[in-house]
Structure formats: structure tokens, C-alpha cells
Amino acid sequence: MAYTVTFWGTRGSIPTPGPHTARYGGNTPCVAVEGAGGQLVILDAGTGIRALGVQLVERRNGAVKAEILLSHAHWDHIQGLPHFKPFFSPGNVVRIWGSRQGTMSLEAILRQQMDPAVFPVPLDALSAKLDVEQVDGAGGEFTIGAFRVRSMKLRHPGTTLAFRLTPVTGGPSMAYVTDNELGSGGQYSTAASWRKEFVEFLRGVDLLIHDAMYTPVELESHRGWGHSTYAEAVLLAADAGAARLVLFHHEPEHDDKAMDDLLAAARREARAQGRPVEVLGAQEGMQLTL
């Protein structure tokens, strides 16, 4: 099955609207994966999900059915949820998939996000039907509609998951990996063999979307923050034999000019390794077909 991947939010940590970030985008993470028959999986619910929700409601042919898969529950990955338009019409069905955090269930996290102290509409008052599907934080496999999903725990504070999606009927696969520290630093509950297993998890993937928040210089003052450099992402893509790498979760302080420079440096790095990984920088509105 062929499908498209559309970037609705590319920015890490906090939205960065304004003219200096207009090309790469200011909305926080949200990526839509849509099969040729309309089967939709939404990866993360950063502020980018607002505009996607508007589009889904506008083009609806009957009720909206949305499957949202969360990498983790840090603000920038769930911030757009309360403004997801399909929530506010009866007949729509929204299913949210993600891991618990510590002893807190995914449903409790979502409920807290819309607590009356911080948001006017509580979770129970939404017009749409909401289902919450908790997935195993240690990683595993499950099916969402037309896609088989494999997950693996990442090196990031809390429980953060990578997802590899492959159409159930076969076809190219993609991996969504945001908020992941490939270098040393930080205290994570991952085994010493983690990188080796992660390379196997990604082996031969057609499209790899990966955290590339920092330059190597910036990383030196951000070790333990749970993010990677473009150089680390390029090396990982090459090791795993990924065909295409999309740099993602852009540092809020990087304007479009800084992002052009970062992308050029990443492409030089890929050429220097002599391995044919195509490198792109995630831009809001960018659509790839697999």
C-alpha cells in the first residue's frame, strides 16, 4: 500500500511562530500518515494538529475517525490536543494511543491536561467519542487500522517510544523517532546493547524521521537533555541502511537561516560517510509519498 507522510508540526519544545521560522515551521510535532484508501494515523499531537484537525473536519465525508499515536506526553507532543476540532462534533471517533508515564495512566495524563484549572473543557465533556489505548512502554507490536506498528523505548526522560509503521498489506516502512539522545549523557533505563538493537529495529527503513535538535557544538551544553545532533542522526541512518532521513524536532532558537546551515552540514556529513542517505529537513507542509 502506498501512503503519504505530511508534516504539520516540526518544531521541538515550544511553538516558534514568526517570519524567521516560516519555512521550516513553528508548530510543535505532528505528522500525518495517510494510506491511499484514507487510512489515517497521526503521530503526536503538538500544535501542528490544530490545522490538521480543521482540514479533517472540512473534507469529511461522514464522521471523522482519527487514530493519534503519541511518542510521549511532554507538552510539545500533546499541546495541540485540546484544540483538535474533531473532538467537538458528535459522531466523530478519536482514539489516542500511547504509553503510561511511571504509575500514571495515559488516560490520567490526558484528563490532567484538560483539568478545569488549566482548560475550560474537561475530557468528559467532549462531543466526540474518545477511546484511550495504552501501549506497552517497554516496546512491542500492535496494529492501528491499515498499519502494523512496532515500538521501541528511546533514550529520553520518561517513557518515550519510537514507532516503525509498515502497511499491513505490505509496502514501504517508515520510522518516527523524536526526542532521543543517541550520544552519551543522561540516565536512561536502556540496556548497554540499546544502540545495536535500535539499529536492527530501523534496519532497511525507507523513511526515518529523527530528532536532530542540535549542532555538535550545542550538544556539549545539552547532554542529558534527551536529544541528538544532525551528525548522530545521519550516522544512525547510515548504520541502519535507511534510504531517506528527515531531520526533525528543530531547536526553537534555530531560525530558517540556521536550519539551512544545519541541513547543509548534515548533507556534507552524509557524503563524507560515503553512504547514500538522502537527507531532508522537516518543513511544515512538506509531504512525502512512500
Q: What is the largest CA-CA distance in the chain?
A: 55
CB of 9 to Zn ion, least distance (A): 10
Task: Give min distance, CB of 92 to Zn ion, in A.
Answer: 27
Closest to Zn ion by CB, 10 vs 173, is 10
Please give the residues from 73 up to 112 whose contact with Zn ion meets the rule CB under 5 A.
Answer: 74, 76
Contact segment (CB under 5 A) with Zn ion among 4-12, 83-91, 107-115, 194-202 equals: 4-12
Q: Single out the segment in contact with Zn ion by CB under 5 A; choices: 66-74, 101-109, 128-136, 273-281.
A: 66-74
Residue among 249 and 267 whose Cβ is closer to Zn ion: 249
Other CB atoms within 10 A of residue 2 CB: 10
Q: Scan residues 5-24 and list those touching Zn ion (CB under 5 A).
A: 12
3-state secondary structure of 238: helix
Q: How far is the CB of 249 from Zn ion (least distance, A)?
A: 6
CB of 72 to Zn ion, least distance (A): 6
Are 172 and 206 spatial neighbours (Cβ–Cβ below 8 Å)?
yes
Examine residue 227 and tell whether it contacts Zn ion (CB under 5 A): no
Q: Which of 50, 14, 13 is nearest to 30 (CA)?
A: 50
Give the separation between CA 212 and CA 71, rounded to whole angstroms: 16
How is residue 16 written as a grid cell?
A: 516558534
Stretch that binds Zn ion, among 34-42, 70-78, 164-172, 185-193 (CB under 5 A): 70-78
Q: Is 179 in the site for Zn ion (CB under 5 A)?
A: yes
From the list 86-94, 119-127, 171-179, 198-206, the region that binds Zn ion by CB under 5 A is 171-179
DSSP state string for 180-235: ---SS-S--S--TTHHHHHHHHHTT-SEEEEE--B-HHHHTT-TTSS--BHHHHHH
Is there binding between residue 254 and Zn ion (CB under 5 A)?
A: no
Q: Which is nearer to Zn ion, 172 or 185 (CB)?
A: 185
List, in order, residues 6 or more apart from 67 with CB less than 8 Å away: 40, 41, 42, 95, 97, 144, 145
Q: How many residues does the chain have?
A: 290
Q: How far apart are CA 240 and CA 140, in angstroms?
A: 19
**Residue closer to Zn ion (CB basis): 12 or 35:** 12
Nearest CB to Zn ion, comparing residues 56 and 73: 73
Residues found near Zn ion in the complex (CB under 5 A): 12, 74, 76, 179
